[in-house]
């Protein structure tokens, strides 16, 4: 029995996409109005939270890795051990860098109690977040997917940040490789279905 607890607009999008693309039989529960339930399941107060036969799994890096290994037929991780490690290193970079840079933009008060510093923290976060996506665009210049010749968990996680860029008007022209990659993702019915469920503005561009 699998239950994914999520909130629209959060990084839980990555885990939701992975479960959907893997063909998993799972229940998705929106906890937007149940912050008490979020805290009960995760004392850190964050989603995604995946309940696996009564056990609680937290953090996208762990959930994405578990889903890919639990449903190997979906091919969400490269088959070669080194290629798998490279893919997971990208996933870890997303969690440790892109997520934090966006959080600096969106919630500068988390990084400093000094209200006078909030504007500069937010501006620097936006600048670094755009530079991060410049790097993602460069990674996609000569390939269709971030790792290997097919979609992996790295692509599904990357979609979170493109979604956030669109939601916050941080997206910009000059990411042609991301645009081509995004079109391939939006052609996948399961991806567009999840994006619509999560209220993503990206879903409006789907076929």
Residue 206: inside a domain: no
Please report whether residue 108 resides in a domain: yes
Hey, CA dihedral for 194, 198, 202, 207, is it positive or negative?
Answer: positive
* Structure tokens given for 188: 């996948």
Q: Check if the beta carbon of residue 64 is closer than 8 Å to that of residue 15.
A: yes
- Same-domain check for residues 62 and 85: no
Which CATH number does the domain housing residue 114 bear? 1.20.1050.10
Please provide the DSSP assignment of 107-142 as one string. -GGGT-S-GGGHHHHHHHHHHHHHHHHHHHHHHTTT
Residues 27 and 89 in one domain: no
Same domain, 43 and 113: no
**Is residue 202, in this structure, part of any structural domain at all?**
no
Please state, in angstroms and as integers, the Cα–Cα distance from residue 20 to each residue in 46, 85, 190, following that order. 21, 23, 6
Residue 94 and residue 180 in one domain: yes
> Would you state the pLDDT for residue 148?
85
Are residues 86 and 44 part of one domain? no
102: containing domain: 81-188
User: Do the domain assignments include residue 164?
Assistant: yes
Look at residue 207 in the predicted model and tell me its pLDDT.
Answer: 57
Q: What is the pLDDT of residue 33?
A: 86
- Which of 19, 52, 74 is the last residue in one of the domains? 74
Q: Is residue 142 located within the same domain as residue 61?
A: no
Looking up residue 69, the CATH number of its domain turns out to be 3.40.30.10
Same domain, 146 and 103: yes
52 and 127 fall within a common domain: no
**31 and 90 housed in the same domain:** no
What is residue 193's predicted lDDT score, i.e. its pLDDT? 96
Answer yes or no: are the C-beta atoms of 170 and 130 closer than 8 Å.
Answer: yes
Please list the rounded mean pLDDT of every run of 10 residues in the chain (207 residues): 95 98 97 90 94 95 97 95 96 98 97 97 97 97 94 98 95 90 96 96 79
Q: How many domains does the chain have?
A: 2
């Amino acid at each position: 029995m699998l239950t994914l607890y999520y909130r629209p607009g959060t990084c839980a999008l990555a885990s939701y996409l992975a479960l959907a693309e893997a063909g998993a039989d799972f229940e998705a529960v929106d906890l937007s109005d149940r912050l008490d339930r979020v805290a009960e399941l995760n004392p850190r107060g964050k989603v995604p939270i995946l309940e696996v036969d009564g056990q609680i799994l937290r953090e996208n890096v762990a959930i994405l890795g578990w889903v890919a290994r639990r449903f190997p037929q979906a091919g969400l991780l490269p088959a070669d051990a080194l290629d798998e490690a490279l893919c997971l290193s990208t996933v870890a970079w997303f969690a440790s860098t892109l997520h934090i840079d966006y959080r600096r933009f969106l919630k500068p008060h988390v990084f400093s109690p000094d209200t006078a510093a909030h504007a500069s923290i937010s501006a620097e976060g936006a600048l670094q977040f755009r530079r991060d996506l410049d790097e993602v665009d460069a990674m996609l210049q000569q390939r269709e997917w971030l790792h290997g010749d097919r979609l992996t968990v790295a692509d599904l996680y990357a979609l979170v940040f493109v979604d956030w860029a669109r939601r916050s008007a941080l997206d910009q022209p000059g990411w042609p490789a991301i645009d081509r990659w995004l079109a391939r993702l939006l052609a996948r019915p399961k991806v567009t279905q999840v994006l619509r469920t999560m209220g993503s503005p990206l879903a409006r561009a789907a076929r």
